[in-house]
Amino acid sequence: MTCKRKLILHWAEQGHIKTEDIQSALEASDANPSNQEWLHFLKSSCLWLGITAIAAAIIFFFAFNWQSISTLTKFALLQGFMVFTTIAYLRVTPLERPSTAITFLIAILTGALLALSGQIYQTGADPWQLFAIWALLITPFALLNHSSALWILWILLINLALLLYSQTFRGLFGFLFREEELLGIFLLFNTLSAIAFEVMLQLKKPPLKNRYAPQLCLLISGFIATWLAIWAIFDSSELQWGGPVYLIWIGTVFYYYRHRQFDLFILSGCVGSGIVAISCCLINLLGDAMDGGAFLFISLIIIGLSTSGGMWLKKLSQIENLPSTTVGNSAEEEQI
């Protein structure tokens, strides 16, 4: 259905189909979503909204009634609900959407149990330990369920644990680092994580079903790389390696996801990052001559780059999404 719809819209853009005939063509080719597909979408949305609401309700229940519930009751309620959730998981088909949603709920409740234990018994002096142990405990869930939702949670937990650790000890592994060096470590970690996920996706039975996890890693890496580039532009004496690292990183990412593994989302991020870096270069070059004319010039450059980048990305999307060149993404998007 997706390929048919894209093909019809592509023909319409080329003028082969009149504007007033587009809807008729979509209906004749069954390119519009059917009632069954809408029902499937609504069921999936309600499932994930329900899981999120249940997790939030449990956490807020304990937070609101913290003083009025005894320690034993807190553990009994939370662990009892985890047992109930585990039984529910055993009664559904593995690797399907309901089992993935239930596993995600169990992962959230695992974090709630760790937080409850730490709050009552003061088992961890530093907050980073909670998130690090939480990420470690849910790793088997993510590997066995092939769920990108769990992998995304894992990525966020690991990054948060590293951030809190670096803020506590001002370094990593016993070495003290400056702020820009810590940013470089985060850039390296998330880039290596993205590479690991890309390798996983090449396996015969990959532990994840879509590209959301590597995309998130590269999104975080892109923000850090762009920030290092901006820092190097305005303070090159303090951060001499920021510019070369940014150029190598964005050049490698752009080449791979343009020519090896097409990914429009990551290419869009590269375009946006490049526009930000070029704009900062212009602002730094004009420096003392920043008057009304300079601001107008920079604004025109940004508008021109944004327009050109958008048109180029749209053209890429049209080329890559033609049915003859599209490898079905609907199957990989089916399992979150």
- Based on the fold, state whether residues 121 and 189 are members of the same structural domain: no
- Based on the fold, state whether residues 170 and 184 are members of the same structural domain: no
Give the model's pLDDT for residue 117: 85
Residues with Cβ within 8 Å of residue 253, at least 6 apart in sequence: 218, 222, 266, 270
Q: How far apart are alpha carbons 142 and 233 in whole angstroms? A: 40
Tens digit of pLDDT at every position of the chain (336 positions):
555 666 666 666 666 566 655 666 655 565 566 677 778 889 888 988 999 999 999 989 888 888 888 888 888 988 999 999 999 888 887 777 888 899 999 999 999 888 888 887 766 567 888 899 999 999 998 888 888 889 999 999 999 998 888 888 776 665 667 778 888 889 999 999 999 999 988 887 777 778 899 999 999 999 999 999 998 888 877 778 888 999 999 999 999 999 888 889 999 999 999 999 999 998 888 877 777 788 888 899 999 999 999 999 988 887 776 544 333 344 444 456
**End-to-end CA gap in the chain:** 20
**Tokens standing for 299?**
């604004």
Give the model's pLDDT for residue 325: 38
**Within a domain: 41:** no
- Based on the fold, state whether residues 207 and 167 are members of the same structural domain: no
Helix (H, G, I), strand (E, B) or coil at 236: coil
Q: How far apart are alpha carbons 103 and 130 in whole angstroms? A: 19
Where a domain ends, among 117, 146, 177?
177
- Based on the fold, state whether residues 103 and 201 are members of the same structural domain: no
- Based on the fold, state whether residues 109 and 58 are members of the same structural domain: yes
**Within a domain: 23:** no
**Within a domain: 297:** yes
Q: Residue type for 116, please?
A: L
- Based on the fold, state whether residues 155 and 68 are members of the same structural domain: yes
- Cα–Cα nearest to 110, from 144, 68, 146, 142: 142
Give the model's pLDDT for residue 29: 60
- Based on the fold, state whether residues 75 and 98 are members of the same structural domain: yes
Give the model's pLDDT for residue 28: 58
Number of domains forming the structure of the chain? 2
Give the model's pLDDT for residue 323: 47
**Within a domain: 288:** yes
Where a domain ends, among 177, 212, 230?
177
Residues with Cβ within 8 Å of residue 85, at least 6 apart in sequence: 102, 105, 106, 109
**Tokens standing for 130?**
């909670």
- Give me the domain span that covers residue 332: 179-336
**Within a domain: 13:** no
**Within a domain: 43:** no
Give the model's pLDDT for residue 100: 87
Q: CB–CB of 83/76 below 8 Å?
A: no
- Based on the fold, state whether residues 204 and 326 are members of the same structural domain: yes
**Tokens standing for 55?**
């997790």
**Within a domain: 26:** no
Give the model's pLDDT for residue 106: 92
**Tokens standing for 120?**
């009552």
Give the model's pLDDT for residue 268: 94
Q: CB–CB of 231/242 below 8 Å?
A: yes
Where a domain ends, among 133, 160, 177?
177
